[in-house]
């Protein structure tokens, strides 16, 4: 009897479903995937050095100690009490809690797990490439970028959540998972609109290709629900408005390196350019709007600001995997004792190696003026409101975490979203050795300056008869007002 519409005969050569209860050896692809994940853990667990992270951690300590998220600036003397939207409050809370549980090692382990999660997403997103060599090559490009761009900061949460979003678009995970994902993302890092943009760009591509958009519409729906629920948080509606309020200061943000367009003079920006060009070449083999629209949109974002490069690199992974040519016959699905042994070796070496890395020093402060700060700590009363210290914004972040004495208010740090425009403008006047530097120092009653040796502003102070050089090393100088040095000197 022939098959009816409700009773179809299975193809003769169709393989039977595997017995779920039967043991299955890991595949060769699994071994390489484990290597990718181990490398991601290493990249994420490196020494803590990022200046922005210092402020996130200091804020996490405040949240853990007080039980509430700060709503006003607690760190500066130029804008004390100014309204402050702690957009990454959840990341700060996690940092503060992890430090209390296990100190710096726990923080580095957290960074490692986030790096491993992003790497796992990358490897899973390469599956459409099928050929093992292409999967490895496509995975390596964002990981090479990670050598420079991955560090323990809220961006890593954002990259992990973006990876989950892309997996949902690929049909690998249920879209409902995006509800908690986007709640967390909107309260952890301001890049969550880029996840929504990725969904919309893929949806538009599908529609232009005249293909079904059912998956993309479902993903967009649940991501939108998760984003909307993010207002149920200590920030309320500010969790959604923060990224757009930040863009209103785009002219000032252009003075921050990560907000500037890439110059392609650094190796990591060249790797990004290589990845983008390879993506274009691969997509041209099998052109589709689903691949073209997100490629163009996110490549433009990467060209707009360095901070978008890591995001763009991740978005390009599934695009390249879907369009990769079927060159070669090794798909990595081979299983047996040899692949299993290789998998076991990779896992063992990854665990032992990363455990050894975590036993090292938690912080790497070799680029910061540690010796200069020790001199100031021993010789100056910078905690006195009458003896204010001016230093670079990145050092301001460090002083939130490691204050001189009990507390050291700063002129500025890298929270450009929080400071009133006039304060940032005044700081840039000093940073650029502008003609009104004396007026700015007098306005804010600055008594001490810690600055880079040889910088134009430091040279102006050294040459001025009103200021006195008290400390100098190969990279930093400490300069004080002559008429107040005795008052601010520590007895």
Residue 15 lies in a domain: no
Instruction: Place 333 in a pLDDT band, splitting at 50, 70 and 90.
Output: confident
Pair 416, 326 in one domain: no
What band does 9 get if pLDDT is binned at 50, 70 and 90? very low
* Judgement on whether residues 133 and 97 belong to the same structural domain of the protein: yes
Same domain, 345 and 381: no
Residue 410 in contact with residue 391, Cβ under 8 Å? Answer: yes
Residues 177 and 229 in one domain: yes
Specify the number of domains making up the chain. 2
Are residues 333 and 416 both part of a single domain?
no
In a domain, 148, yes or no: yes
| 8 has a pLDDT exceeding 60 | no
Percent of the chain with pLDDT over 90: 72
* Position 72 in a domain: yes
349 and 397 within one domain = no
Residues 323 and 382 in one domain: no
Residue 382's pLDDT band (cuts 50, 70, 90): confident
pLDDT for the residue numbered 328: 65
In a domain, 243, yes or no: yes
Distance CA 337, CA 27 (A): 9
Q: Which residue has the higher pLDDT, 14 or 465?
A: 465
pLDDT tens for 93-147 read 999 999 999 999 999 999 999 999 999 999 999 999 988 989 999 999 999 999 9
Residue 1 maps to a domain: no
Q: Are residues 151 and 282 in the same domain?
A: yes
Look at the pTM and tell me if it is higher than 0.75: yes
Is a pLDDT exceeding 80 seen at residue 460?
yes
Residue 11 is assigned to a structural domain of this protein: no
The whole-number average pLDDT for the span 244-255 is 76
Residues 377 and 259 grouped into a single domain: no
Domain holding 447, by residue range, is 370-488
Span of 52-56, 77-81, 384-388, 396-400 with lowest mean pLDDT:
384-388
- The verdict on 161 and 301 lying in the same domain is yes
The residue out of 302, 329, 356 marking a domain boundary is 356
CB 291 within 8 A of CB 205: yes
Domain end among 300, 333, 356:
356
Residues 324 and 381 in one domain: no
pLDDT exceeds 60 at position 17: no
pLDDT in tens, 163-202: 999 999 999 999 999 999 999 999 999 999 999 999 999 9
Distance CA 118, CA 135 (A): 15
pLDDT confidence band for 1 (50 / 70 / 90)? very low
Q: Are residues 340 and 282 in the same domain?
A: yes
pLDDT band of residue 69 (cuts 50, 70, 90) is: very high
């Amino acid at each position: 009897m022939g098959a009816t519409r409700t009773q179809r005969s299975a193809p003769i050569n169709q393989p039977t479903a595997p017995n779920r209860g039967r043991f299955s050896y890991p595949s060769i692809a699994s071994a390489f995937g484990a290597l990718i994940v181990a490398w991601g853990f290493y990249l994420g667990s490196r020494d803590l050095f990022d200046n922005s992270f210092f402020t996130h951690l200091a804020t996490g300590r405040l949240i853990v100690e007080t039980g509430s998220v700060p709503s006003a600036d607690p760190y500066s003397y130029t804008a004390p009490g100014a309204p402050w939207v702690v957009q990454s409050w959840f990341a700060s809370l996690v940092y503060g809690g992890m430090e209390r549980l296990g100190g710096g090692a726990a923080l580095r382990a957290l960074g490692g797990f986030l790096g491993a999660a992003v790497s796992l997403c990358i490897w899973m997103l390469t599956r459409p490439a099928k050929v093992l060599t292409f999967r490895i090559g496509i995975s390596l490009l964002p990981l090479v970028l990670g050598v420079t761009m991955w560090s323990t900061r809220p961006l890593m949460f954002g990259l992990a959540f973006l990876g989950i979003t892309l997996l949902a678009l690929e049909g690998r995970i249920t879209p409902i998972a995006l509800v908690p994902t986007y709640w967390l993302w909107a309260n952890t890092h301001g890049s969550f609109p880029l996840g929504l943009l990725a969904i919309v760009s893929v949806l538009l591509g599908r529609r232009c290709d005249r293909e079904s958009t059912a998956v993309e519409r479902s993903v967009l729906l649940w991501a939108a629900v998760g984003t909307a629920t993010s207002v149920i948080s200590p920030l309320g509606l500010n969790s959604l408005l923060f990224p757009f309020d930040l863009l209103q200061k785009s002219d000032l943000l252009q003075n921050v390196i990560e907000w500037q367009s890439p110059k392609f003079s650094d190796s990591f920006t060249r790797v990004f350019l290589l990845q983008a060009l390879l993506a274009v070449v691969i997509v041209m083999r099998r052109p589709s709007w689903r691949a073209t629209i997100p490629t163009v949109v996110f490549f433009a974002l990467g060209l707009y600001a360095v901070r978008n490069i890591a995001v763009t690199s991740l978005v390009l992974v599934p695009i390249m995997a879907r369009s990769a040519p079927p060159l070669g016959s090794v798909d990595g699905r081979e299983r047996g004792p040899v692949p299993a042994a290789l998998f076991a070796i990779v896992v063992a070496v990854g665990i032992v190696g990363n455990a050894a890395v975590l036993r090292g020093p938690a912080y790497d402060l070799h680029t910061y003026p540690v010796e200069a700060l020790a001199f100031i700590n021993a010789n100056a009363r910078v905690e006195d409101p009458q003896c204010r210290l001016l230093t670079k914004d990145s050092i301001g972040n460090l002083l939130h975490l490691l204050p001189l004495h009990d507390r050291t208010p700063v002129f500025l740090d890298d929270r450009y979203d929080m400071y009133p425009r006039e304060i940032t403008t005044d700081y840039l006047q000093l940073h650029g050795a502008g003609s009104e530097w004396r007026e700015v120092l007098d306005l804010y009653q600055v008594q001490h300056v810690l600055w880079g040796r040889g910088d134009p502003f430091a040279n102006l102070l050294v040459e001025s008869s009103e200021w006195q050089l008290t400390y100098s090393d190969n990279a930093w100088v400490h300069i004080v007002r002559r008429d107040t040095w005795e008052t601010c000197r520590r007895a």
